Every structure is written in structure tokens, then in C-alpha cells.
Chain A
Amino acid sequence: MNGAIVERFGAVVAGIVVAVVSFYSLYKDWHAVGVENNVFKLMLFLLGVGAILAILAGLNVIGFTAS
């Protein structure tokens, strides 16, 4: 199997796990108050966005190699 396909598959599967975990944690902590928790919420949201970007890159939807 081509190495790039393995990398893409890994990126998509692991990316889905990370995105789900990030957004679930964000959902769970949504009502938490205080500066610290609000910063964590922002960070979790951006982490989830990053995971989605990695999924899309893995699926060849975005990135240099997208057709």
C-alpha cells in the first residue's frame, strides 16, 4: 500500500477522534465560568477546527495536492 494513503487514512481516522473529543469536551465545559475556563473553551474550539482541517487535508479536499 502507498505510504501516502496510510498517512491520509491515519490523519482522517485520528482526526475524527480528536475532533469528536474536542467538541464533546467543549460541549461539557460550555457552562463553566471564569477566565481560565473561557480560555480553555476557545482553545478546544480551535483544536477541533485544526482536527477538521487535518481531516479535510487527509481526504484531499484541501491542500496542495487537492485536484
Chain B
Amino acid sequence: MTAATLAHDAHGDVDQLYIETRELRLQGFLLFLISDCVLFSSFIFAYLYMRNSGQGWPPPGIHRLDVPFAAWNSVVLFGSGATMHYALENFKHGHWMRYMIFLLATIVLGAGFLAGQGYEYTHLIYGEHVTWAGSGIFGASFFTLTGMHGLHVFIGVCYLTVLVLQSSAGVYTRGKYFGITAGTLYWHFVDVIWVVLFSIFYLI
């Protein structure tokens, strides 16, 4: 048996292993998302409990949040969810260039959302003097929850950038692309969490 044949066999074993463990990978990743969901839920319910225990919301002395800007920034993030979905669909159908365009668009929109959040934080901290530690429950809950979500978006942007590099290096094939599926699931999760945060901080 030649070295080339051995390498081919080893590669074949890896592919077989990949196929056999694909469902397990998916289940493992979904469990990770569920655990992250529990983490967010605990913070969200703590925020709602404290909010309903107080004397009106937002507390006296704090202006209401900028809803038009938040709506626009939310749409930027939701749009990135749509582009990520189409990136995965195009990869599945073998349209590599379209996949890369949609993936890059997702990264740009995700970075745009983070820039918008940075602008809002700057406005709140320096314009309204609302801080994490110095503005009571409102500041603590707002900055903790949106900051934790922003950290998830930042990690997602980094992950998608790695996906671009890996895809350019030919790591993923039409039969072996769990990394892209996981990235899409994670990005949708981040979007869905923002639907909840947007509703509880800006709409109700």
C-alpha cells in the first residue's frame, strides 16, 4: 500500500467519521445555544422583576432611550441574519461567490450594529450621564444585558471572519460544512436574543 493510498484511506475514514458524528455535533451545538439562552433568560427575568418592583420606568432623572435609532440599528442586525441565511443557502447550492458576498455582507452589517451600539453607549454615558455602576438598576441592567449581547455579536463577527479565511483556504466542501451551519445558527440566535432585548428595553 502506498503512502498516497494510506492518505486517501485516512481521509476517507475522517469523512466517514464526520458523517457519523454530524447529528451529534448539531445536538451539541444546539445544547450550547440553549445554555446561552438560559444565561440570557436569567438576566432578562431579573431585569423585568426589578423593573416592575420600582417606581416607574425609566427611573426619575433618566431620559427614555432613543427608539428611532434603536429601530434602525435593530434592522441592521436583523438584515445580517437574512444575509447569513442566504450565505448558507448559496454554499449548499454551490454558488461560492454569492456565498462569500453574503458572508462578507453579514460581517459588515454585524460590525455596523456594533458601531451603532458604541454610538448609543457614547451618547448615554457622555450625553445623558447614564453609567453601568452609577445609574442604579436601569444603568446596570441595560449595560449588562446589551453589553453581553454586544460581546456575543463581536464573537460572532470574529467567527464569521474565520469562516471567510477557512472558506478561502478550501476547508469546507459541499458535503462537509458544519462550521458554516454552526455559524448560521449562532448568528440567528444572536438576532433572536436582540428581538427580546429590543422589545423589553425600547418598546414596552
Q: Which residues of chain A have a CB within 8 Å of any CB of chain B?
A: 4-5, 7-8, 10-11, 14-15, 17-18, 21-22, 25, 35-36, 39-40, 43-44, 46-47, 49-51, 53-54, 57-58, 62-65
Query: Which bucket holds chain B's interface residue count?
Result: 35 or more
CB–CB A11/B81 < 8 A: no
Q: Which residues of chain B have a CB within 8 Å of any CB of chain A?
A: 23, 26-27, 30, 64-72, 74-76, 78-79, 81-82, 85-86, 89, 181, 184-185, 188-189, 191-192, 194-195, 198-199, 202-203
Q: How far is the CB of B190 from chain A (nearest CB, A)?
A: 10
A43 CA to B81 CA in the complex, in Å? 9
Could you say which residues of chain A place their CB within 8 Å of the CB of B79? 14, 17-18
Q: Given A43-B192, A63-B67, list of 15 further CB < 8 A pairs? A: A7-B72, A15-B75, A25-B86, A25-B89, A36-B181, A43-B188, A44-B188, A47-B81, A47-B188, A47-B191, A50-B74, A51-B78, A53-B74, A54-B74, A65-B64
Q: How far is the CB of A66 from chain B (nearest CB, A)?
A: 8
CB–CB A10/B72 < 8 A: yes
Could you say which residues of chain B place their CB within 8 Å of the CB of A4? 66, 68-69
Number of A-B contacts (CB under 8 A): 115
Q: How far is the CB of B22 from chain A (nearest CB, A)?
A: 9
Could you say which residues of chain B place their CB within 8 Å of the CB of A15? 71, 75, 78
A43 CA to B75 CA in the complex, in Å? 15
CB–CB A39/B71 < 8 A: no
CB–CB B30/A63 < 8 A: no
A10 CA to B72 CA in the complex, in Å? 6
